[in-house]
């Protein structure tokens, strides 16, 4: 979740999200050598003096999973997280149509979507770990929108 009052709008969450989803996982290589570099799965919305980061909330009744035409968007049986299988994605944008957070993006390839995977394999997602003012906080249970 995001504590709106302490977000300073620095955009480091976006930077570290890009790095974590890059091939090299190295900030300099990701920005200098990887073309196109991956999209950030978190975005900072700003309307000075207010700002906050937005990413997938891993809804309990995820509208994106209901809307998915191919079966690519799914709830992981073990973790309960909303995950996306790029191999199955047909790029129909139905998930984008219904995500309350606008947290699903068209990949740089233009063929599939990308979204937050909570940094599979990391204990703490990169955006949270690198938030300098602890505005982004990782919590197991937060209130979310529902499709039903």
> Closest distance between other proteins and the C-beta of residue 83, in Å?
14
Q: Which residues pair with 47 in a beta bridge?
A: 50
Q: C-alpha 27: how far from its chain's center?
A: 18
Count other C-beta atoms under 10 Å from residue 121's C-beta: 7
> Closest distance between other proteins and the C-beta of residue 29, in Å?
27
Q: Which of residues 32 and 133 has its CB atom nearest to other proteins in the complex?
A: 133
> Closest distance between other proteins and the C-beta of residue 71, in Å?
4
Residues near other proteins (CB under 8 A) are: 1-5, 43, 45-47, 50-52, 54, 57, 63, 66-71, 87-88, 90-106, 110, 142-145, 147-148
> Closest distance between other proteins and the C-beta of residue 32, in Å?
26
Peptide bond into 36 cis (omega under 30): yes
CB crowding 43-76: b at 16 or more within 10 Å, else e: bbeeeeeebbbbbbbbbeebbbbebbeeebbbee
Q: Which of residues 15 and 103 has its CB atom nearest to other proteins in the complex?
A: 103
Among the listed residues 129, 109, 107, the one whose alpha carbon sits nearest the alpha carbon of residue 119 = 129
**Residue pointed to by tokens 């990949």:** 107
Q: Which of residues 22 and 51 has its CB atom nearest to other proteins in the complex?
A: 51
**Residue pointed to by tokens 């900030």:** 27
């Amino acid at each position: 979740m995001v504590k709106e009052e302490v977000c300073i709008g620095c955009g480091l969450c976006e930077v570290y999200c890009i790095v974590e989803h890059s091939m090299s996982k190295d900030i300099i290589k990701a920005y200098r050598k990887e073309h196109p570099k991956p999209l950030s799965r978190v975005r900072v919305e700003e309307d000075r003096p207010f700002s906050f980061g937005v990413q997938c909330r891993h809804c309990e009744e995820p509208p994106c999973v209901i809307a998915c035409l191919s079966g690519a968007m799914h709830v992981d049986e073990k973790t309960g997280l909303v995950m996306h299988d790029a191999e199955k994605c047909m790029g129909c944008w139905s998930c984008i149509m219904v995500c309350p957070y606008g947290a699903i993006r068209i990949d740089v390839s233009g063929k599939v979507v990308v979204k937050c995977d909570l940094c599979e394999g990391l204990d703490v997602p990169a955006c949270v770990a690198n938030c300098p003012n602890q505005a982004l906080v990782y919590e197991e249970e937060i209130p979310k929108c529902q499709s039903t």
